[in-house]
Amino acid sequence: MDFFFVQDYRRNYRFFSSEPVQEIQVEFSRLKKIWAAARDKLMLLPARTLRQEQAFEKVLKTAPQEVSIVHSEGIAPKKIKRRFFFFLQKQRTKHILLLAGETILLPLSGLMALLPGPNVFFGFLALIMITHWQALRGINRLRKISPRFVGSDLLNDWEHKIEAGDTSGFAAILIAIQNRYHISEAVKILYK
């Protein structure tokens, strides 16, 4: 499985895999309505956020020697490894802070059970916490292994267009990236 580490149009690095977003599978018979509503809300997250979280989670299911990260070939190997390391540090800190905040909100969301109807807020918060926890575990695993970095001329062209501010060429290159690497929603991940 290939993972990608590339700048979006705002020049922020994104980490994602070529696999499409998958629905979160939760099987609780008694709370089925709550979990189904919460899962639907979770799927409304922006594509780039959800894809990144799921890519981190997929690292847990991939053998260490099979983790290859496609990046712009215009960046020296030592420099891309350093950028990726700092990206992982930033994501790790962000996920720890998010989990801490969600842990504080979880008991408060339990009070929502007093309101009539299913407690969708609690279910959504629980699914978000599970997603962030799995992503954090994937980030920690990525920090411990040495992934193989593979340069891509197409991603290099994309980053050159970003630097030049050539928005007219974005559509063509994004379609080429989508076709070469079989990435669904490349436009949503890197441009919107």
Q: What are the pLDDT tens digits along the chain (192 aa)?
A: 689 999 988 889 999 888 876 665 555 555 565 556 656 666 666 777 888 888 999 999 888 888 999 999 988 999 999 999 999 999 999 999 999 999 998 888 777 766 666 666 777 788 888 889 999 999 999 999 989 999 999 999 999 989 888 888 888 898 999 899 988 878 888 887
pTM score: 0.82
Model pLDDT, residue 91: 96
Distances (CA, A) of 87 to 22, 55, 105, 109: 24, 14, 27, 31
Model pLDDT, residue 44: 60
CA distance 155 to 90: 23
| Cβ atoms < 10 Å from Cβ of 71 | 24
Phi/psi at 87 (5° precision)? -60, -45
CA distance 101 to 121: 15
Q: Starting from the edge strand earliest in sequence, which strands make up the sheet with 2-7, in order?
A: 13-17, 2-7, 68-72, 148-152
Give yes or no for a contact between 2 and 15, defined as CB atoms under 8 angstroms apart: no
Model pLDDT, residue 33: 59
Model pLDDT, residue 165: 84
Distances (CA, A) of 150 to 61, 71, 156: 20, 6, 12
CA atoms within 13 A of residue 126's CA, in its CB half-sphere:
16
36: left (phi over 0), alpha (psi -120 to 50) or beta: alpha
Model pLDDT, residue 42: 63
